[in-house]
Amino acid sequence: MRNLILIALVTFLGFSAQAQTKKNKNLKYTTEVNGNCEQCKKRIEKAAFSVPGVKTATWDVGTHQLTVIMNEEKCSPTDLKKAIAKVGHDTEDVKATESDYQNLHSCCKYDRK
Amino acid sequence: MQKYITLFVMVLLAVPAFSQEDLQEVKITKKQKGIKKSYTVTANTSVITSKELLKAACCNLAESFETNPSIDVNFSDALTGTKQIKMLGLTSPYLMITEENIPSVRGASQAYGLSFTPGTWIESVQITKGAGSVINGYESISGQINTELLKPLNDIPFFLNAYGSTDSRFELNTHFNKKISDKWATSLFVHGNARVAKNDMNDDGFLDNPLGKQINILNRYQYYDAEKGLVGFVNFRYMNDKKQTGELNFDKDRDRGTTNSWGSEINTERFEVSTKIGYVFKDMPYQSIGFQNAFNSHNQDSYFGLNQYNIKQNSYYSNLIFNSIISNTMHKFSTGLNFSYDEYREFVNINDYSRIDNSVGAFFEYTYDNTDDFSLILGGRVDNHNRLGFFVTPRLHARYNPWKDGVIRFSAGRGKRSANIFAENQQLFASSRTFEILDTNGKIYGLNPEIAWNYGLSFSQKFKIFNQNAEAGIDFYRTDFQNQAVVDLMQSPQQVSFYNLKGNSFANSLQLEFNYELIHNLNLRTAYKYYDIQTDYLTGTFQRPLQAKHRFLGNLEYETNLNNDKQWKFDFTYNWSGKQQLPYTASNPTADQFPDFSPAYAVINAQVTRVFSPVFEVYVGGENIGNYKQEKAILGANDPFGPNFDASVAYAPIFGQMYYAGLRFKIK
């Protein structure tokens, strides 16, 4: 009997846990990405679009904010940041490698924090 | 807030997806340009803003293109004074003309429809050269013109415009706007115009311009709920237009239906209801649904001397469109359904051509944009029409930016339409010509549907000369007719024949454009256009009559900087038109002949605007300042019921110079 209750509980908890982490298909996510110019904008947005699950991507030259709508079932904010760091742009959590940074066009070499 | 604005913009843009980027520009740009050409939109589209519309006397939509290189404004005939437009050398029936993406100038309204939209109502006009989008239909062949009217939510509370000219035309436009609640706003536009005095500057005994009266009322409501992502429009419109032309001493009560003197009346009444609703999905700004419905009734009663022509058209048009993306916004698509129903009651003298046309179609349009230097729109539609049959319409547009500030565009597409031969050629009723339809097997007046392919290639480049902005462009378009309802004026001056194309018919157009900011605030716009438009007629191959092979347009605008809200604006437009093929008249007596080709001529327009404050401005201007007049406007004018009478040939202005003045008063 105790086992049964335990199983029931676990099942229940399992369900609710699943419900809690139910993934948003249209998550609106904004994060800071370092960059300078229109060329950076194209590069950053292109990198964002290369992540499967990213549906829209807009990087604001003035505020350095990247706003995306993404399908959490297919990707995570970390995937996004990794893809952007890969093309040379620092994000809050994932930084670009020195060599990727050095590959940027001279006008795109933003001041690293 | 920003989210709401984005939402709102998305909803507004959801339906006219094709012109998306231009409209966004209108919102962002501070100092407006008259004509905008984006280098990042896929199609060869230019946007005429309301600023450009203020450059000319510009009483209605037909007259608003006189400073535009893509569109040629012609003089339609010696009687009605209605201006016809052409794009790539083809007349307006070959264009898709829409008002807020609902087809507007079509069928019965083809001849005068553009004069039924007052200039002050217009917010912007998008002109697309070439095949165009498949979303609104299959009929466009050489281009699309979409007019956006002022939106109630952005409108000012009160606007007044008064206008008067030396050809005795007067206009009054009043706009009222009220925000009913935070979600509803309404506008009421009232337009009246009249030409009250008879003018005969060339002393041929005929009016140079019709006497006329028009009352035109539009009441529209806009709904917008940002939280729910809903936007809607409801429009009610009524128009009554009366024109009288002909001989000076024609009295319509006494002389109608007699040969006492020649006269003509064209009376049109129109009623229209349209609705539009758009919904943007929650948290998905890239996905939306739009649904448009329009009903209109158009009733024209007219006679031209002893020729009677009456046409009534009741139409219903419906368009359902769904916009979304495939994986991300680099791949967008629009898909949906159209339905149209047209009931015509058409009488040419005693012949009854009444009929019902209907069609249902589905479209799919895919847009790829690499967010950088390349984009592509691939569209297709299938339609089933009771006269045109079942057919497929493919269209393609592509854009590539090979380097900075340069753009190459390509387009190709097919169009198909039924020619309303009487409505589209009704100026020919003002002649002694007999109307002969030589084919009998087709479903449209005995004729087959018109089918054409259009291909275009264009290149534009921006650069600096002496540190000032300059732009150069070249484009080439070709329209190839597979079938055409040929209108043959090359056989006999006493006859017009209509028949299915036998042989070739094509229209080539080449345009060179150069724009330059000479000094700060002084802009020059120039365009040279070459047209080669040939049709195989029964008597041989000729250039399309009344089409100049060479045209040149120059426009110079200067405006002073705003000084205490005061400003001067100057505009000067020069239009040169080369010789034009004229209809065949060689078999007439010498006095009643036209030469084979018309002479070349130039028309000069100028305008000065004084802005006294944001509230009040005054403008004065002149049209055809060089006072060029067509030498012989009407053939056989002294015997209008005789065999040689023809008032349908207008290759140049009939009326000489004209001066006008007007004022604009706004309460913001």
* Cα gap B370→B376, rounded to integer Å: 9
Alpha helices, H only, B355-453: 421-424
Residue A39, min C-alpha distance to chain B (Å): 9
Residue of chain B nearest A52, judged by CA positions: B327
pLDDT at residue A56 tops 80: yes
Mean pLDDT of chain B: 90
**Spatial separation of the C-alpha atoms in residues B517 and B557, rounded to whole Å:** 10
Q: What is the pLDDT of residue B158?
A: 96
Give the pLDDT band of residue B110 (cuts 50, 70, 90): confident
Structure confidence at residue B31 as a pLDDT band (50, 70, 90)? low
Please tell me which of the candidates B283, B325, B371 has its beta carbon nearest to residue A46: B371
Q: Does A65 touch chain B (CB under 8 A)?
A: no
Chain B nearest-CA distance from A61, in A, is 15
pTM: 0.88
Instruction: Determine the pLDDT at residue B55.
Output: 78
B335 within domain boundaries:
no
- Record: contact A55-B285, CB cut-off 8 A: no
Judged by CB atoms closer than 8 Å, whether chains meet at A46 and B285 is answered as no
Round to whole Å and give the CA distance between B431 and B425.
12
Residue whose entry in the numeric block shows the structure tokens 């018109």: B450
Q: Looking at the predicted structure, is the pLDDT value of residue A3 above 90? A: no
Domain around B207: 2-312+350-357+386-391+404-667
- Give the DSSP letter string of B589-623: -GGG---SBPPPEEEEEEEEEEE-SSSEEEEEEEE
Tell me, yes or no, whether B332 lies in a domain. Answer: no
B614: domain CATH number?
Answer: 2.40.170
pLDDT band at residue B201 under the 50/70/90 scheme: confident
Mutate one of A55, A63, A74, A75 to test the B interface: name it (highest B CB count within 10 A).
A55
* pLDDT (0 to 100) of residue A113: 76
Across the interface, which of A26, A42, A55 has its CB nearest the CB of B328? A55
Average confidence (pLDDT) over B291-310: 96
Q: Are B554 and B505 in contact (CB under 8 A)?
A: no
Rg (CA), chain A: 19
CA distance to partner chain A, nearest, from residue B245 (Å): 59
B555: amino acid identity, one letter: N
Mean pLDDT, to the nearest integer, of B43-63? 82
In this structure, what DSSP letter does residue B448 have? P
Lowest mean pLDDT among A90-104, B364-378, B510-524: A90-104
Pull the structure tokens for residue B160.
């007044």
Q: For chain A, give the mean pLDDT.
A: 84
In a domain, B374, yes or no: no
- CATH ID of A23-108, from 3.30.70.100, 3.40.50.2300, 3.40.50.620, 1.10.357.10: 3.30.70.100
Q: How far apart are CA B132 and CA B35, in angstroms?
A: 19
Q: Which of B286, B370, B372 sits opposite A56 (nearest CB)?
A: B286
pLDDT attached to residue B60: 85
Spatial neighbors of B308 by CB under 8 A, at least 6 apart, are: B302, B347, B348, B349
Given an 8 Å threshold on Cβ–Cβ distance, is B371 in contact with A45? Answer: yes
The pLDDT assigned to B200 comes to 86
Q: What pLDDT score was predicted for residue A7? A: 65
Residues of A in contact with B371 (CB under 8 A): 42, 45-46, 49
Residues 6 or more apart whose Cβ sits within 8 Å of residue B72: B65, B85, B86, B87, B89, B529, B551
- Find the radius of gyration of the CA atoms of chain B: 24
Q: Is the pLDDT of residue A15 over 80?
A: no
Q: Which of residues 75-104 of A touch B (CB under 8 A)?
A: none
Number of structural domains, chain B? 1
CA–CA separation, B578 and B566 (whole Å): 40
Query: Does B322 have pLDDT greater than 70?
Result: yes
**Mean pLDDT in residue range B546-573:** 93
pLDDT above 90 for B83: no
Residue B515 predicted with pLDDT over 90: yes
Task: Say whether pLDDT at A19 is over 60.
Answer: no
Q: What does the alpha-carbon distance between residue B553 and residue B526 come to, in Å, rounded to a whole number?
A: 5
Q: Tell me, yes or no, if A30 comes closer than 8 A to chain B by beta carbon.
A: no
With bands split at pLDDT 50, 70 and 90, how would you rate the model's confidence at A10?
low
Say if the Cβ atoms of B283 and A69 lie within 8 Å: yes
Q: What is the mean pLDDT of residues B629-634?
A: 89
Q: Using a CB–CB cutoff of 8 Å, tell me whether A69 touches chain B.
A: yes
**Residue A112 touches chain B, beta carbons under 8 Å:** no
Does residue B377 lie in a domain region?
no
H-helix or E-strand containing B6?
Answer: helix B2-14
Give contacts of B370 with chain A, Cβ < 8 Å: 46
Tokens of B205: 């005994």
The pLDDT of residue B530:
96
- In angstroms, the CA B150 to CA B666 distance is 14
**Tokens 């936007």 belong to residue:** B231
In Å, how far is A7's CA from the nearest CA of chain B?
A: 38
Can you tell me the distance from the alpha carbon of B494 to that of B588, in angstroms, rounded to the nearest whole number? 9
Average pLDDT (B28-37) is 64
Report yes or no: A45 at the B interface, CB cutoff 8 Å. Answer: yes
Q: List B348's β-bridge partners, or say none.
A: B309, B351
Going by pLDDT thresholds of 50, 70 and 90, the confidence category of residue B32 is low
Higher pLDDT: B218 or A4? It is B218
Question: CB atoms < 10 A from the CB of B642, how many?
Answer: 11
Q: Does A23 touch chain B (CB under 8 A)?
A: no
Q: Are B195 and B211 in contact (CB under 8 A)?
A: yes
- Looking at the complex, report in whole angstroms how far the Cα of residue B373 sits from the nearest Cα belonging to chain A: 10
* CA–CA gap between residue B277 and residue B43 (Å, rounded): 26
Partner-chain contact B328 A46, CB within 8 Å: no
Cβ–Cβ below 8 Å for A28 and B327? no
Per the CB < 8 A criterion, the answer to whether B554 and B509 are in contact is: no
Contacts of B329 in chain A (CB under 8 A): 49, 55-57
Position B227 in a domain: yes
Sequence ranges of the domains in chain A: 23-108
